[in-house]
Amino acid sequence: MKKREPISTGAEWTFEMIAEYDHEIGRIAQEFGLDTYPNQIEVITSEQMMDAYASIGMPLNYNHWSFGKQFVETHQNYKRGRMGLAYEIVINSDPCIAYLMEENTMTMQALVIAHACYGHNSFFKGNYLFKTWTDASAIIDYLLFAKNYITHCEERHGVDAVEELLDSCHALMSYGVNRYVRPQPLTADEEKERQQAREEYIQRHLNDLWNTIPKKEEGAAPSIERFPRDPEENILYFIEKNAPLLEPWQREIVRIVRKVAQYFYPQKQTQVMNEGWACFWHYTLLHQLHEEGLVTDGFMVEFLHSHTSVVYQPPFDSPYFNGINPYTLGYNMMQDIKRICVDPTEEDREWFPDIAGSDWIKTLDHAMRNYKDESFILQYLSPRLIRELKLFTIMDNAEKPTLEVTSIHNESGYRQVREDLSAQYNLGNREPNIQVYNVNVRGDRSLTLRHFMHNQQPLGDSSGEVLRHIHRLWGFDVHLESVLPDGTVTKSYHCPEIITEGETDSLL
Amino acid sequence: MSYIIDRRLNSKKKSTVNRQRFLRRYKKHIKDAVEDAVNNRSITDIDKGGNVTIPRRDISEPIFHHGEGGMRTKVFPGNKEFVVGDQFQRPPGGGGGGAGEGKASNQGEGEDEFTFQINQEEFLDFMFDGLELPYLVKKQLKNATQYETRRAGFTNAGSPEKIHIVRSLKAAHARRIALTGKDRKKIRELSKEIELLKQQLPNPETSLQINKLNEEIELLKQRLKRIPFLDDFDIKYNNLVKIPVPSSKAVMFCIMDVSGSMTQSIKDMAKRFFILLYLFLKRNYKQIEVVFVRHHTHAKEVDEQEFFYSRETGGTIVSSALDLSSDIIEKRYSPADWNIYIAQASDGDNWDGDSSKCSKVLHEKILNKVQYFAYVEITTGPHQNLWQEYEKLQSVWAECFAMQQIREPADIFPVFRSLFEKKSEGAA
């Protein structure tokens, strides 16, 4: 290919250069078959970046003190030089909004454009989780609706009442998602239209459930059936639909928090893949630019410097170690898949007979579209990469005095390490599995939640406080039981607390 | 297709509301921190912004998470010498199993305190939150001598430079429409008639009629022309009225005893008190003057440096200072123009026969002119005769006279607050 003049040579950027880089990177991305939403690239200042940090990365959000806390903290740390800000933030919306920091050099802007505007963007558009759980074209409208609605509520019912409610909802945010049932995508227009109807309907529906008019009594042996019949994993949903004392506007706010949680749910589940995909593509795209002579060697050196620091994995005994770096794992896995396709070894053919030697673009595209972190690792983590990263598993059993190494990067350990690592990214294992188990419909209206224990791990110490939040939403007594798989209750929490200590002890 | 947008000029303060919510929620913590700062800071930077520290557990947002215990497996990178079956001690702090999110704050330091800064304005807001200048409103308008011109609609008379052009032309337009309506209607009707006539076959009779009608139209048009485009009574003027405004000037008298019994530490406390008062007044008035009066047996007006730092000894005659203040008020600060505040600090020691004279001067010459007179006695001992004398005054001049005792630096701010706490309206 004919070498062309580099687009830029210095560190300073201009809007024209950004446009030109974007054009070239976009062209190459298309050649590689990346399917993206249109891009909206916004250049912002560091202060605006901190604003964006504080509203969980969204361009607008409702007001809450916790965002203020986040902002104050970021601001403080940044000012003292304790942390740098991200080079970019990218939002899963259509058009896909990417924020570029003013302070970045030209190289960094190009890196960010390749990473966010083509890497993350295509992931948002292609991955099945994002497709099912989020509607990229509606999120901004929905957030605007939410912000206005909550402001309206604050005017009508007071800032304090709304703040309390949001506090409680935020405590349960991770339990506002349906993990198994596929949700309706949310759209702002419909939301607005249906909101009124929903308010009325719910209120009427509830009255049925909590009807106090006695039914014919004889023969009606108190049924032992529970309500809900099957445990409900989406606690916020259950509260929105069934909490006896909430006002319609409160239900709507519970719903808003739930919808926002749902929007972010896929991001939690695809961190490794998403970052890996974006890193892989910025690497590939910028190398292609270099190949074509569009960037200088100096550009590449600067780019590689920041690339390597992003995908660096400190070993477990390093003071910088802070868990497995999702960028490293994801990027290396993506590169590894490409390697298996392009240049498979005997081992690869044995482990990955279906992809070894296949077209790498198609294989990667398939992987990006159809997996989440957990299944992606289980499917694609190769023995070679396990060796390279020197992965090993430690078993920590609280009943034993010592930790034990259960598997390492050797022939007999590959599968186990891979399974362990995959399980580590299973949200179901990371967050306690707590579900609505029963409501005492005929009695004191108390709500019972069950914590189905995973590997006998107990709940953390803030559980009591979360329970108080649930109590605020539910309005009547709330109980929480930790249960072992065989059904024995190991520990129970109550709000308001039950004073007869003897009883709870006997449960243990 | 990409859009590139420069957002750098957009507003930066998107998080302001959230930040205020946060401050509002932790008001109590911040107030404590501010009070602490006021009591401990050096005097010159008492009004700077400051650090506020809140225990992290107070601002945590609880969520369900796994606690320690049970069985967990965790994969680590970078194995060096481990083989399967190796066993080793749990590292301290339960880190090995990795409770995960537990202690992790993103800066990698397990801090248990959350520290942030508030700026000077916020600092002062919190410092003086809930305080007010007593009986400000009541006195404000009584002797008002300052006026402010404000807009008050429009009038039909005024000087040419106040003409409101748009209004005037609007009025003229309306008048023209109103006065010409009938004629214009007539013209329209006549022209319609002409049109009708013209459609008929031309004959002498119709042309005669057309001519007649045309003449009539001409006549009407001339009448229309005679209506002036702009008439005298169309012209509207901006109306400005004078409104009395409360005086925005204040003078603060600092009166301090510098007799031998006042040690440096007592003076320091007095100074802190004066500074607080000064900062507080500065928030309420545009212009503030400060008069320093110090006294032992004689009173003297001095500059700040001398007031706080020069040393003198001698007996104590408080009334000398009050006399001097009263003179200064008479000469320079007419109560009609100035809001007068007096803060007196003393260790309570006074020459025996003088205290009754003091209360007399206050009663007759001073208290009826001032907004507020605050007396602080800085002493650890029992009250002296001045205090007892002043106590009598308090019942008479309850609205503008207050006295408090300061024993140690930590008292200053609470005492200051109690002097200026918002009071109910009843007393007026």
Residue A438, CA distances (Å) to A237, A241, B238 in order: 15, 14, 73
**What's the pLDDT score for residue B270?**
83
Mutation target to probe the A interface, by most A beta carbons within 10 A, among B28, B54, B75 is B75
Most confident segment among A244-258, B265-279, B285-299: A244-258
B73 with A406: Cβ contact below 8 A? yes
Average pLDDT, chain A: 86
Cβ-contact B314, B297 below 8 angstroms: yes
Confidence band of B58 (pLDDT split at 50, 70, 90)? confident
With beta carbons less than 8 A apart as the criterion, state whether A436 and A231 touch.
Answer: yes
Are residues A373 and A272 in contact, defined by beta-carbon separation less than 8 angstroms?
yes
Higher-pLDDT residue of B168, A503? B168
Q: Could you tell me the domains of chain A?
A: 15-127+270-305 (no CATH), 139-209+228-269 (no CATH), 340-428 (no CATH), 432-507 (3.40.1350)
A391 and B76: CB-CB below 8 Å? Answer: yes
First to last CA, chain A: 74
- B64 and A42: CB-CB below 8 Å? no
Angle at A352 between CA A347 and CA A353, to 5 degrees: 95
Peptide bond into A95 cis (omega under 30): yes
Chain A residues whose CB is inside 8 A of the B62 CB are 171, 462-463, 465-466, 469
Among the partner residues B21, B79, B116, nearest to A392 by beta-carbon distance: B79
- Give B129→chain A minimum CA distance, Å: 19
Is B64 in Cβ contact with A174 (below 8 Å)?
A: yes
Residue entry with tokens 């003071």: A319
Q: What is the pLDDT at residue A210? A: 59
Which of B21, B62, B88 faces A65 most closely, judged by CB atoms? B21
Q: Provide the pLDDT for residue B43.
A: 63
pLDDT band at B407 (very low <50, low <70, confident <90, very high): confident
- In three-state secondary structure terms, A342 is helix
Judged by CB atoms closer than 8 Å, whether chains meet at A390 and B77 is answered as: yes
Q: Of B23, B66, B75, which has the smallest distance from its Cβ to A393's Cβ?
A: B75
pLDDT digits (tens, 9 = 90+) for A66-111: 888 888 888 888 887 766 677 778 999 989 999 988 888 999 999 9
Q: Which residues of A touch B2 (CB under 8 A)?
A: 19, 22-23, 26, 38-41, 117
At B95 the pLDDT is 44
**pLDDT value at residue A212:** 57
Subunit contact B62:A40, Cβ cutoff 8 A: no
B78/A313 touch (CB, cutoff 8 Å), yes or no:
yes
User: Predicted confidence band at B71 (pLDDT cuts at 50, 70, 90)?
Assistant: confident
Record: contact A163-B25, CB cut-off 8 A:
yes
- Above 50 in pLDDT, residue A258? yes
Confidence (pLDDT) at A204: 63
Q: Please return the burial class of B87, using the count of CB atoms within 10 Å of its CB with bins 0-12, 13-18 and 19+.
A: exposed
Tokens 């023969």 belong to A219
Q: Which residues of A touch B61 (CB under 8 A)?
A: 66, 167, 170-171
Question: Rounded mean pLDDT of chain B?
Answer: 80
| Cα–Cα separations (whole angstroms), residue A5 to A297, A302, A505, B113 | 12, 19, 78, 54
Q: How many CB atoms lie within 10 A of CB A337?
A: 26
Residue of B8, B10, B64 for testing the chain A interface, max A β-carbons within 10 Å = B64
Decide if pLDDT at A305 tops 70: yes
Point out the least confidently predicted range of A441-455, B88-102, B217-231, B402-416. B88-102
Judge: A68–B5 Cβ closer than 8 Å, yes or no.
no
Q: Look at B62 and A4; give whichever has higher pLDDT.
A: B62
**Cα–Cα distance for residue pair B297/B294, rounded to 1 Å:** 10
Are B15 and A55 a contacting pair at CB < 8 A? Answer: yes
Inter-chain CB proximity B63 and A43 less than 8 Å:
no
pLDDT in tens, A220-243: 445 567 788 888 889 999 999 888
pLDDT computed for residue A120 by the predictor: 94
Tell me the three state secondary structure of residue A96.
Answer: strand
Query: pLDDT over 90 for what percent of chain A?
Result: 53
Answer yes or no: do B71 and A457 touch at CB < 8 A: yes
The CA distance from A378 to A493, in Å, is 36
- Interchain pair A26, B76: CB under 8 A: no
ipTM exceeding 0.90?
no
Average pLDDT (A355-373) is 93
Most B CBs within 10 A among A25, A41, A58, A65, hence the mutation to make, goes to A65
CA distance B34 to chain A (A): 18
How are the residues of chain A apportioned to helix, strand and coil, as percentages rounded to the nearest 5?
55, 10, 35
> Half-sphere exposure of residue A266, counting CA atoms within 13 Å on the CB side?
26
pLDDT of residue B370: 85
Query: Would you call A117 and B2 a contact, using CB atoms and an 8 Å cutoff?
Result: yes
Please report the pLDDT score of residue A25 as a whole number: 94
Within 8 A of A313 by CB-CB distance, chain B residues are 77-78
Give Cα separations from B119 to A356, B34, B122 (angstroms): 62, 11, 5
Q: What pLDDT is recorded for position B109?
A: 41
CA distance, residue A86 to nearest chain B CA (Å)? 13
Contact A54 B7 (CB under 8 A): no
Mean pLDDT value across residues B268-287: 81
Mean pLDDT of the region B81-93: 82
A78-87, A193-202, A355-364 — which one is most confidently predicted on average? Answer: A355-364
pLDDT (average), residues B415-421: 80
Averaged pLDDT, A281-289: 94
Q: DSSP per residue over A163-176, as a string?
A: HHHHHHHHHTGGGS
Report d(CA B262, CA B349) in Å as an integer.
Answer: 9
The residue with greater pLDDT, A189 or A308, is A308
**CA triplet A384, A388, A389: central angle to 5 degrees?**
120
B-chain residues near A76 (CB < 8 A): 115-117
Tens-place pLDDT, residues B342-388: 888 888 778 877 888 888 888 888 888 888 888 888 888 788 778 88
Residues of chain B neighbouring A73 (CB-CB closer than 8 A): 114, 116
Of the candidate ranges A1-15, B32-46, B128-142, B153-167, the one whose mean pLDDT is the lowest: B128-142
Architecture field, domain B247-427: 3-Layer(aba) Sandwich (3.40)
Q: What are the pLDDT digits (tens) for A310-322?
A: 899 999 888 888 8
Going B206 to B208 to B210 to B213, the CA torsion angle's sign is negative
Say how far apart CA B277 and CA B254 lie, in whole Å: 10
Whether the per-residue pLDDT at A332 is higher than 80: the answer is yes
Q: Give A50-53's long-range contacts (Cβ < 8 A, gap of 24+).
A: A50/A74, A50/A75, A50/A78, A50/A85, A50/B15, A51/B12, A51/B13, A51/B14, A51/B15, A52/A89, A52/A99, A53/A85, A53/A86, A53/A89
Q: How far is B101 from chain A (nearest CA, A)?
A: 10
User: Cβ contact (<8 Å) for A459 and B67?
Assistant: yes
Query: Residue A50: its chain B contacts at CB < 8 A?
Result: 15
Count CB pairs under 8 A between chains A and B. Answer: 267
Output the CA torsion sign for A407, A411, A412, A416. positive
Percent of chain B, pLDDT > 90?
Answer: 6
- Least Cα separation, residue A224 to chain B (angstroms): 29
Q: b vs e for A262-300, b when ≥16 Cβ sit within 10 Å of the residue's Cβ? A: bbbbbbbbbbbbbbbbbbbbbbbbbebbbebebbbeebb
A385 Cβ neighbours under 8 A, 6+ residues apart: A332, A333, A336
Lateral strand order in the sheet of B299-302: B299-302, B287-295, B249-257, B339-346, B372-378, B401-406
- pLDDT digits over B14-57, tens only? 788 888 888 888 888 888 888 787 777 766 676 677 788 888 77
| pLDDT above 80: residue A273 | yes
Quote the pLDDT of residue A150. Answer: 94
pLDDT in tens, B94-149: 444 433 333 333 433 445 678 888 888 888 888 777 777 665 544 455 555 667 88
Domain locations in chain B? 16-59+112-129, 160-239, 247-427
Q: Alpha-carbon distance A56 to A75, whole Å?
A: 14
- What local confidence, expressed as pLDDT, does residue A299 receive? 92
Tell me which chain B residue has its CA closest to the CA of residue A417: B75
Q: Rounded CA gap, A116 and B360, in Å?
A: 80
* Cβ atoms of B114 and B59 closer than 8 Å: yes
- A407 vs B contacts (CB less than 8 Å): 84
Residue with tokens 């947002």: B61
Exposure pattern of A225-250 as b/e (b: 16+ CB <10 Å)? eeeeeebbbbbbbbbbbbbeebeebb
CB contact under 8 A, B70 and A458: yes
Out of A44, A64, A95, the one facing B18 most closely (by C-beta) is A64
- Note whether B21 and A71 are within 8 A (CB): no
Which residues does chain B have within 8 Å of residue A122's beta carbon, measured at their own beta carbons? Answer: none
